[in-house]
Amino acid sequence: MAALIAENFRFLSLFFKSKDVMIFNGLVALGTVGSEELFSVVAFHCPCSPARNYIYGLAAIGVPALALFLIGVIWNNHTWNLVAECHKRGTKNFSAAATFLLFGSIMGRAAVAPVTWSVISLLRGEAYICALSEFVKPSSLDKFPAEYGAEILARFPCRDVPANLTRFRDEVTRRLRYESQLFGWLLIGIVAVLVFLTKCLKHCCSPLSYRQEAYWAQYRSNEDKLFRRTAEVHSRILAAKNVKHFFGFVALDKEEKELVQEFPVEGVQPSPQWNAITGVYIYRENKGFPLYSRLHKWAKGVEGNGPTPEGHELLFLAS
């Protein structure tokens, strides 16, 4: 039984590792859906006042979407790799295609949460109804009393209307909800088509075979995990040495003592090495052999950042 459970966990682990981007985007979307539902139940209250409904309704859709987009940009490693690249080397080594791929990768991943928020908001319809109820033309409503205007229409989302207008309120709400949900479904369709076309374009323009691209993705994932794990151990050992040098001793637990004994740290890496492995990386080959990352390129001793007769740039961004 234990072996079966372990095998199932191993299978799930491999599944998630092979589809990390898809799973991450799915989790972001689910988290956004939950946040939007909570916001609608707890925080959304239409003011039901002319000139305020429109601003409040659009803000309820647009402001959280903008905030989620900026958070997505901030959390994307490509953003800071681009900043480091521009700061250290400039953009002279970027072609138009590489720049387009880079910004497309950043914007595409950052757009998952805001698009999900916008879609759910439109499908629910409350914010859209609140924003546009006052702009419904009374003439479009059959036998709508002439003495009422935009002020009473703005109160429709709050159901605070005279009894003789209940039928019109239901009709306006139904009409606006239909429009809101229509826009939501259209947005889903447009995003699905764009994702499909982007995937097709990526694979058509990729200079790598399917197997090599899969290997490259596995290499990047393993390199990042090993680098982070090793950097954490290296920094801990270096910190222990410096603390011991200051106090004369260092209080380590059993695991940390084993790490200090097993991995002697003599010093730190100089800044040029950190700069060499930091920044945006575009797939390159050197004498026919692939270079899968900046760290790989540094380890092979390949100099320069642009295409050379020995190093052929294939303009395929690491995603």
The amino acid occupying position 134 is E
Q: b/e for 33-50, b at 16 or more Cβ within 10 A?
A: eebbeebeeeebebbbeb
Q: What is the CA radius of gyration of the chain?
A: 28
Give the single-character DSSP code of 313.
E
The residue that leads in pLDDT, 315 or 229, is 229
Looking at residue 316, its pLDDT comes to 45
Number of residues that this document lists for the chain: 319
Q: Which two tokens stand for residue 315?
A: 């303009």
Q: 137 vs 132, 144, 174, 257, 304, CA distance in Å?
A: 11, 10, 15, 77, 65
Rounded distance, CA 173 to CA 188, Å? Answer: 22
Rounded distance, CA 268 to CA 6, Å? Answer: 39
Average pLDDT value for residue range 264-277: 87
For residue range 151-183, what is the model confidence (pLDDT) as tens digits? Answer: 888 888 887 777 787 888 888 889 999 999 999
Can you tell me which residue has the tokens 């958070």? 71
Rounded distance, CA 64 to CA 70, Å? Answer: 10
Looking at residue 5, its pLDDT comes to 38
The residue that leads in pLDDT, 28 or 9, is 28
Range in 111-120, 195-204, 238-247 the model is least confident about: 195-204
265 burial type by CB count under 10 A (0-12 exposed, 13-18 middle, 19+ buried): middle
Average pLDDT value for residue range 2-18: 40
For residue range 32-65, what is the model confidence (pLDDT) as tens digits? Answer: 666 655 555 557 788 888 888 999 999 988 998 9
